[in-house]
Amino acid sequence: MIIKASFGTGFWSALAIAFQGNFGLTVGIWLGIIQTLVLILNFIISKKRPEYESIIAIFLESLAIDFWLEIVLVNVSFQQSPLLVKLLVLGLGIIIAALGIATYVQPNFPLSPVDRIIFVLSIKFNWSVRVSQTLVALSVTLLAYFLGGPVGVGTIIMTLGIGYCIQSWLRIMTPLYQRI
């Protein structure tokens, strides 16, 4: 949804699209490569065993991204849509992504490396999830921008807003999960 909002993509997607534009391959494959590199980075920072189980999440997410972009939404575009529609699609995408992250971190399933890095940095440097997420997002956004990725207003909104949304959803989802 965020990619198709035509308002700038999410920061990780912007980086994958930048790599796609410069080197070929699909967005899903690049997201898989990026996540594998971040898996190694998580190991280096945390000094803990790499979460090899997350390779399943990497594979499934890469397949899902390519399935949605290359098959399901291939003819969907919001480029000609009014600004309000683009903002609504972007906002809904951010809220759903943040809810998804806040939900699947609860049962301690293996996280995707790009989600795990938020918590690794949060623990290592005693930062809040919001601060950690925002710093990661800003770093990735800058790299994507310099590599020619589709960084736009939507990317900036997501970069600055998703950490807050994840933190907010965690406040709701944690007590719900603990009751189960």
- 104-124 per-position pLDDT tens digit: 877 777 778 988 899 999 999
Could you report the per-residue pLDDT of 132-178, keeping only the tens digit for each? 988 998 999 999 999 999 998 888 888 788 888 988 998 998 888 88
Judge contact between 48 and 111, C-beta under 8 A: no
Task: Quote the percentage of the chain above a pLDDT of 70.
Answer: 96
pLDDT over threshold 60, residue 5: no
Q: What is the pTM of this model?
A: 0.78
Q: Which amino acid is at 159?
A: T
Least Cα distance to 78 among 93, 66, 64, 67 occurs for 93
**What pLDDT, on a 0 to 100 scale, did the predictor assign at position 172?**
92
Q: Give the chain's length.
A: 180
Residues 34 and 127: their CA atoms lie apart, in Å, by 23
Could you report the per-residue pLDDT of 12-33, keeping only the tens digit for each? 989 999 999 999 999 999 999 9
**What pLDDT, on a 0 to 100 scale, did the predictor assign at position 22?**
97
